[in-house]
Amino acid sequence: MNRQEQRMLMGNEALGRGLFENGCSLAASYPGTPASEILSSVVTFSREAELPIHIEWSINEKAAYEVALAHSYTGKRAAVAMKQVGLNVAADPFTRSAYLGVKGGFIVISADDPGPYSSQTEQDSRLFAHFAKIPVFDPSSPREAKEMIKKAFELSERYEIPVMVRPTTRVCHARQNVTCKKPRLLERRARFEKNPSRWAATPQFIYDLHKLLNEKMDKIAEEHVLSPIPYASLPSRNKRCVIASGVAFAHTYELLEEMGLLDRLDLFQVLLPFPLNRRFIDMIQSDYEQVLVVEETYPVIELQLEKGKIQGRKSGFVPRQGELTPDCIHDVLERFLGSASQTHPARVAQPGKRPSLCPGCPHRPAFFAIKKTFPKGIFPSDIGCYTLGMNLGAVDTCHCMGACISQGAGFYHSYAQDGGNIPPIVVTIGDSTFFHSGIPGLINAVVQDARFIIAILDNSSTAMTGHQPAPHLGIKADGTPAPAVSIPDIVTACGVRFLRQCDPYDVPAFRSLLEEADQYCRSEQGGVAVIISKHSCPVDKKAIGPEQLYTMEIGETCDGCQLCLKQFECPALVAPEADSRAKGRVRIDFHTQGGGYLSSEHGEREGVAPAASPREGATRAPLIDQALCVKCGVCKHVCPKGAIAVKEETKA
Amino acid sequence: MKQQIIVSGTGGQGILFLTRFFAEAAMMMKLQVLTSEIHGMAMRGGTVVSHVKVGTFKSPLVREGHADAGLILNKQNLPLHRSLIRPDGYVFVNTDTPGDYSSIDASGLALGAGAPAMTNLVLLGFAMQRGGFFCEADVARKVLKKLSPPAHLELNLKGFDMGFASS
Ligand code: SF4
Ligand code: SF4
């Protein structure tokens, strides 16, 4: 590439580019929305690299953090990326790394999700950084995110301390034209200098390390270059100012510009919300009487501003939860400026269409079989595409990564101690989640003599976040081969004595395995039963496609009960009235009034819908949208009247 | 030049492709651009809307009533996202039911051509022909050439032209 070049980058790619350009030689991550594309982009950029970069999808965030930390101990630059709840998993190495510090620049990118859009909490990583005494940058755009990576590496090396960069969903998944440069070549050789009183610090050394950490924080809070950036008309004319950070700053700036207030109100952008610049705090205290703080998601800046005149999320002036959208900030600004004509009711996000498992997804028949076999069962589940099993009534709990197995054990012990009948407990966990943090739970359940069923949904992919490889697949982040770790071997080694494997597409076989597993759990010598439900995610490009394709039809035994829609919910099975496209385009392809095709397959459009059916309910017969159907043939197991049948079988 | 556009539909309909399209087109025109997308769970067939802001903006999000144009790939989304579009803005809807918006049966046309996956491009072509967008059709075709995987390029251009030619 030229020395400089404009590229269209997503925020996550800009972060990855920042790592690449600034001599980062190790990047580790565990996928999770909104952070997943950070590491994949480093893989892409590393193809331009002159020096090797070790890039890994680690088994979980804790492992990722520790791998990267040791890399920094050798004097090289390292980074670890995760979503905010991933930082909970890495909390142990994270908090101690502040005390012990680092050598080579060390960055932890923790992506927050105000809203939230795809997370189990709205927690603010900046507050976590505050708690751990780790400085944190808060970018407001992809471009700024890339620049902050450079600053973060420099700060980290100046103070030998880990530094956090905290983007939010709106930065991670924004796209912007960003200037890209050639990477800096650091050419550092690994050199670990032993120092047990630091790298293996026992409690006797911790007091001094903590003191040193506090001194570092004080000095960083004095750094002039990191102090908030003033916009507009300083010094203040009306003793009123707005302080903002992250994407909330971007919204605020634009709103004030639009309202023509940029030159009448003092606005500050905070780049480093913790530790907040000391002189800035003093200046705010002495120069302003009314202060509004706009930040996501918890009050971190506000907490450091000490006095009572501050308006923000802590004071309740700014809504205390949820994303700060431009419309929401607009409202807050109007109230702050006393110009509110009326308070606009917050726009309640309308639900729209709920997501569902893809057509042909192997999780669907697995959940269908579980629910059919044990209508009164308890179903702990976990995080991934398969959380959508909720739509099929086969997911009762979803807590945090890997929790389902221990929850299954907890449910068992609770019912078992009462005596009497124990409901069937069927836990579902994905392959990647199993590796991430399911294994300790499995060992624990076995040794505590819990008795329940675990279905490991092995679709050979981390599908929800973009099909990253998991440890049993034998591929590295860049697609090159790696040693594979087998799930059945692990399950056996954990002490499980009932282990079967089944393709969930074969619903009857899967159901009889579930029955067998249940009997095993209830037998005298029983214990934890594991069934590996094995079928690749059809959306994953790495997956080997099916051998057979089944064109399905809905025959005349259909009485319009729509059980298949309610209990199976394949997006390709549609209610005739639900889809306006179906109207006027229904093609009755066989001589019944029972149901039909959307004509996509045939490349022609019929003029009219079928005349009202003579049979009751027949007009309620579902349609198969051939544009969505992937011809998996699984729905033949679904209709209790046998109305859904294979019309034609073809080799793929 | 300042322009705000929204693209609305359900996950899997090619919302992200259209968003990237506008972003790349702006860059090709040497304009500043910011977009905002939704990834994750919603992409599994749920409702999604993405925002495009061309020009000197700082915030990636479009405010209520501020979009100059909206591409709605799925009529059910009209009540959800229409309020983002200015009252006098352009509303392009993929539907065979006419209404107080510009409509084209993009799904039907794409299906008819045997490629339902190009529905989004039919709607794009249709919109480009009448929307007063910041870029012209020749730039659009160049961007499609840049963004489309080789195997899909021909169909994508065909879809675009089909929408562009229809009235
Ligand atoms: S991406 Fe794969 S695992 Fe996820 S819902 Fe779709 S088919 Fe299922
Ligand atoms: S064959 Fe049946 S289950 Fe499979 S995608 Fe088509 S309609 Fe859905």
Listed residue (A63, A618, B60, A643) closest to A71, CA to CA: A63
Give the integer Cα–Cα distance in Å for B32 and A178: 10
Q: Which of residues 41-70 of B touch A (CB under 8 A)?
A: 41-47, 57-64
What's the rounded Cα separation, in Å, for the pair A608 and A589?
13
Return the pLDDT at B46.
86
Judged by its nearest atom, the ligand closest to the C-alpha of residue A550 is: 2
Q: Is the pLDDT of residue A583 over 60?
A: no
Element (DSSP H or E) covering residue A404:
helix A403-416
Q: How far apart are CA B72 and CA B25, in angstroms?
A: 19
Closest CA to A399 of A32, A121, A63: A121
Q: Per-residue pLDDT for A468 more than 70?
A: yes
Model confidence pLDDT, tens digit, residues A199-222: 999 999 999 999 999 999 999 999
Distance from CA of A33 to the nearest CA of B (A): 6
> Which residues, in sequence order, are CB contacts of A371 under 8 Å at separation 6+?
A377, A379, A392, A393, A394, A567
Domain locations in chain B? 3-165
Of A575 and A171, the structure prediction assigns the larger pLDDT to A171
Architecture of the domain spanning A225-337 = 3-Layer(aba) Sandwich (3.40)
E strand segments, A24-135: 24-29, 54-57, 77-83, 106-111
User: What is the SS3 assignment for A580-621?
Assistant: CCCCCCEECCCCCCCCEEEHHHHCCCCCCCCCCCCCCCHHHC
Indicate the pLDDT class of residue B79, thresholds 50, 70 and 90: very high
3-class DSSP state of A116: coil
pLDDT in tens, A381-429: 999 999 999 999 999 999 999 999 999 999 999 999 999 899 999 999 9
So what's the pLDDT on residue A603? 29
CB A565, CB A621: distance < 8 Å:
no
Check pLDDT > 60 for residue B126. yes
Residue A490 to residue A178: CA distance in whole angstroms: 45
Count the residues in chain A.
Answer: 652
Nearest CA to ligand 2 atom 4: A632
Asked whether the beta carbons of residue A355 and residue B46 sit closer than 8 angstroms, the reply is yes
A347 contacts B41? CB cut-off 8 A = no
pLDDT (tens digit per residue) in A260-303: 888 888 999 999 999 999 999 999 998 899 999 999 999 999 99
B40·A247 Cβ contact <8 A = no
ipTM rounded to 2 decimals: 0.92
- Residue keyed to tokens 């997370």: A119
Q: Provide φ and ψ at B88, rounded to 5°.
A: -100, 15
Res A71 pLDDT > 80? yes
Residue A546 pLDDT = 84
CB contact under 8 A, A353 and B47: yes
Which one, of A619, A477, A464, A501, lies nearest residue A554 by Cα? A619
Domain locations in chain A as residue ranges: 4-221, 225-337, 363-534, 548-651
Residue A404 tokens, joined: 């389902």
A4-221 domain in CATH 3.40.50.970?
yes
Q: How confident is the model at residue A578 (pLDDT cuts 50, 70, 90)?
A: low
Say yes or no to pLDDT of A234 above 90.
no
CA distances to A182, A514, B54, B143 from A5, rounded to whole Å, are 9, 58, 19, 18
User: Which of the pair, A471 or A600, is modelled with greater confidence?
Assistant: A471
Q: Residue A155's pLDDT band (boundaries 50, 70, 90)?
A: very high
- Topology adopted by domain A363-534: Rossmann fold (3.40.50)
Distance to chain B for A352, nearest Cα, Å: 6
- Specify the residue with its C-alpha closest to ligand 1, atom 6: A358
Confidence class of residue A586 from pLDDT cuts 50, 70 and 90? very low
The neighbouring-strand residues paired with A57 are: A29
pTM: 0.92
Q: What is the DSSP string of A316-365?
A: TSS-SSS---HHHHHHHHHHHTT--SSPPPPPPPP--SPP-PPTT-THHH
- Please give the share of chain A, as a percent, with pLDDT higher than 70: 90
Whether ligand 2 lies within 6 angstroms of the CB of A637 is answered as: no
Q: Helix, strand or coil for residue A247?
A: helix
- A30, A58 in Cβ contact below 8 A? yes
CB atoms within 10 A of CB A650: 9
Q: What is the pLDDT of residue A264?
A: 82
- The topology under which CATH files domain B3-165 is Pyruvate-ferredoxin Oxidoreductase; domain 3 (3.40.920)
Q: What ligand has the least distance to the C-alpha of A595?
A: 2
Stretch among A278-292, A572-586, A602-616, B41-55 having the lowest mean pLDDT? A602-616
A410: alpha, beta or left? (left if phi > 0; alpha if psi -120 to 50):
alpha
Judge whether A250 and B60 are in contact, CB under 8 Å.
yes
- What letter does residue A386 receive in the DSSP assignment? G
Cβ(A294)–Cβ(A241) below 8 Å: no
pLDDT given at position B40:
75
Rounded to the nearest angstrom, the distance between the alpha carbon of A509 and the centre of ligand 2 is: 19
Give the pLDDT band of residue A618 (cuts 50, 70, 90): low
Q: How far apart are the first and last CA of chain B?
A: 27
